């Protein structure tokens, strides 16, 4: 749902300019320094990027899903590291509070997250708990009016800069029904961070372990105030997150298509630009077509989301198709660039590494297939 087409067009245009004039020129610096320049973080805060999907009542822009998708298509045109710094505040770091939080939790945390002064993060994965998210081993034991948390969370995006974690821990018996979501401030005694993870790509994105050793949080830190609901909260958060990632993948694919066209029209071989060679045109055509198909499906699913439809299957389909699609597009982009595509002087080199993660996090492609298959069978 687009509430006001003119306002959205203005926002999209502003972000398009910001991406092209401010973020794209900084891509090489981010690659080299593994850090996002502080001045750009300030500009992101000023543009409201940290609170895009947080309701207006709490100081955010309150974008609908369709609006969020249109904006994300633009943001996907540059390095994924930029998205990851504000992405958790709009997505997995804040959505748990938005969908299931108490009034007090929303009133306290959301305005702080919307302004970007507080960074929210999402801690579900553990050393032994990845795809089987209902098997969380981190324990939360009631002691008076507090819970005592013990365990390790792994590969947690933005953990090194986070102020608060939506953290899933076990309060009850085995399986998803025993999992509870807590809001754990990063400065809680007993919470510490592991060494920074060294990753294949997405340089500038910070991840590390979050370690809990007798970390005490009040019972009021439970999202929604009811224990045993944490797995469902996490899944609801991921439904939306998967759609957002899918839209981001489309933005990345569009950039890769444009880089491929630019290179192919300038590179001359056998006496003419390689864009005039049919085998290169075939690669461009496949990438352009897949990017367009992916764009259509994310917009369609966002509309369904805004209409209140059950979109579990469609969000998983978007995540599956778009993340696999951008992998193919990145591979072709490197191929079209030839030897140049393997060189760091060309952006396709790091995009190729960066996009590999989209098939893994917020549910692997195989998990998306399981979700889609289950939903299809349940619907008959
Ligand atoms: N949206 C809303 N509710 C959901 C849901 C979804 N997408 N998926 C499951 N649920 C609900 C179910 O309806 C069920 O509720 P009831 O107990 O009321 O019936 C409950 O949650 C348990 O679901 P289920 O039995 O399907 O749980 P499983 O252990 O079989 O989990 C999958 C299934 C594989 C879907 C889940 O573990 C998953 O998504 N894993 C991937 C985790 C992931 O993405 N990790 C990345 C971490 S963040 S980077």
pLDDT of residue 27: 97
Terminal CA-CA length for the chain: 28
Query: 320 CA to middle of ligand 1, Å?
Result: 16
Q: Answer yes or no: is the C-beta of 125 below 6 A from any ligand 1 atom.
A: yes
Angle among Cα 303, 247, 113 to the nearest 5 degrees reads: 90
Structure tokens at 53: 């999907």
pLDDT of residue 380: 78
pLDDT of residue 90: 87
Q: Exactly one of 68, 290, 349, 362 is catalytic; which is it?
A: 362
Structure tokens at 181: 């979501």
Q: Answer yes or no: is the C-beta of 134 below 6 A from any ligand 1 atom.
A: yes
Domain positions in the chain are 5-115, 120-226, 237-378
Which ligand 1 atom lies nearest to the CA of residue 132?
A: 37
Q: Answer yes or no: is the C-beta of 178 below 6 A from any ligand 1 atom.
A: no
Query: What span, in angstroms and rounded, lies between the C-alpha atoms of 230 and 219?
Result: 14
Backbone angles phi, psi at 129, to 5 degrees: -130, 105
Ligand 1, atom 17: nearest CA belongs to which residue?
A: 177
Structure tokens at 5: 């087409």
Ligand 1, atom 46: nearest CA belongs to which residue?
A: 362
Domain 237-378 listed as CATH 3.30.1330.10: no
Q: Length of the chain, please?
A: 380
Query: 189 CA to middle of ligand 1, Å?
Result: 31
pTM: 0.97
Query: What span, in angstroms and rounded, lies between the C-alpha atoms of 146 and 374?
Result: 38
Which residues of the chain register pLDDT less than 50?
none
CATH for 5-115 is: 1.10.540.10
Q: Is 362 assigned a catalytic role? A: yes
Which ligand 1 atom lies nearest to the CA of residue 177?
A: 17
| Fold of the domain spanning 120-226 | Butyryl-CoA Dehydrogenase, subunit A; domain 2 (2.40.110)
Which ligand 1 atom lies nearest to the CA of residue 124?
A: 47
Q: Answer yes or no: is the C-beta of 312 below 6 A from any ligand 1 atom.
A: yes
Location of structure tokens 């191929």: 335
* pLDDT tens digit sequence for 60-83: 999 999 999 999 999 999 999 999
pLDDT of residue 38: 95
* pLDDT tens digit sequence for 298-333: 999 999 999 999 999 999 999 999 999 999 999 999
Cβ(42)–Cβ(219) below 8 Å: no
pLDDT of residue 379: 86
Backbone angles phi, psi at 214, to 5 degrees: 50, 50
The dihedral built from the CA positions of residue 89, 95, 100 and 103, taken in this order, carries a sign that is: positive
**What number of other Cβ atoms are within 10 A of residue 378's Cβ?**
9
pLDDT of residue 51: 94
Going from the C-alpha of 301 to that of each of 147, 305, 332, the distances in angstroms are 39, 6, 27
Beta strand pairing status for 179-185 and 164-170? antiparallel
Q: Answer yes or no: is the C-beta of 371 below 6 A from any ligand 1 atom.
A: yes
**What number of other Cβ atoms are within 10 A of residue 325's Cβ?**
24
Q: Answer yes or no: is the C-beta of 68 below 6 A from any ligand 1 atom.
A: no
Query: What span, in angstroms and rounded, lies between the C-alpha atoms of 374 and 380?
Result: 10
Task: Let me know if 120 is exposed, middle or buried by CB neighbors in 10 A (0-12, 13-18, 19+).
Answer: buried
Query: What span, in angstroms and rounded, lies between the C-alpha atoms of 120 and 158?
Result: 8
Query: What span, in angstroms and rounded, lies between the C-alpha atoms of 150 and 380?
Result: 42
Ligand 1, atom 5: nearest CA belongs to which residue?
A: 235
Residue 1 contacts by C-beta under 8 Å, 6 or more apart in sequence? Answer: 64, 65, 66, 67, 303, 306, 307
Structure tokens at 305: 């989301």
């Amino acid at each position: 749902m687009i509430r006001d087409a003119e306002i959205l067009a203005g926002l999209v245009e502003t972000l398009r300019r910001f991406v092209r004039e401010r973020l794209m020129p900084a891509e090489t610096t981010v690659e080299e320094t593994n850090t996002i320049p502080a001045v750009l973080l300030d500009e992101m805060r000023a543009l409201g990027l940290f609170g895009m999907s947080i309701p207006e009542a709490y100081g955010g822009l309150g974008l609908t899903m369709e609006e969020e998708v249109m904006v994300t298509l633009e943001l996907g045109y540059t390095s994924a590291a930029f998205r990851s710094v504000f992405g958790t505040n709009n997505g997995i770091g804040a959505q748990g509070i938005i969908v299931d939080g108490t009034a007090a939790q929303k009133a306290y945390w959301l305005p702080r997250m919307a302004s970007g002064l507080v960074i929210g993060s999402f801690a579900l994965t553990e050393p032994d708990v990845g795809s089987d998210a209902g098997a969380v081993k981190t324990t939360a034991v009631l002691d008076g009016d507090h819970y005592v948390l013990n365990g390790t969370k792994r590969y947690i995006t933005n953990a090194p800069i986070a102020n608060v974690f939506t953290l899933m821990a076990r309060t009850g018996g085995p399986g998803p029904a025993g999992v509870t979501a807590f809001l754990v401030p990063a400065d809680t005694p007993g919470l510490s961070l592991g060494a920074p993870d060294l990753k294949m790509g997405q340089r500038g994105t910070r991840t590390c372990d979050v370690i809990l050793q007798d970390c005490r949080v009040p019972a009021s830190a439970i999202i929604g105030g009811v224990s045993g609901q944490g797995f469902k909260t996490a899944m609801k958060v991921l439904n939306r997150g998967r759609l957002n990632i899918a839209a981001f993948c489309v933005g990345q694919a569009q950039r890769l298509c444009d880089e491929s066209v630019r290179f192919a029209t300038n590179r001359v071989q056998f006496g003419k630009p390689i864009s005039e060679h049919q085998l290169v045109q075939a690669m461009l055509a496949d990438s352009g077509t897949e990017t367009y198909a992916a764009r259509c499906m994310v917009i369609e699913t966002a509309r369904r989301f805004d209409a209140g439809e059950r979109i579990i299957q469609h969000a998983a389909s978007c995540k599956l198709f778009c993340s696999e699609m951008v992998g193919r597009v990145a591979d072709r982009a490197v191929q079209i660039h030839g030897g140049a595509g393997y060189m760091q002087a060309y952006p396709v080199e790091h995009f190729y590494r960066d996009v590999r993660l989209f098939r893994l996090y917020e549910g692997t492609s195989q998990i998306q297939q399981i979700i889609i298959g289950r939903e299809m069978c349940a619907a008959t």
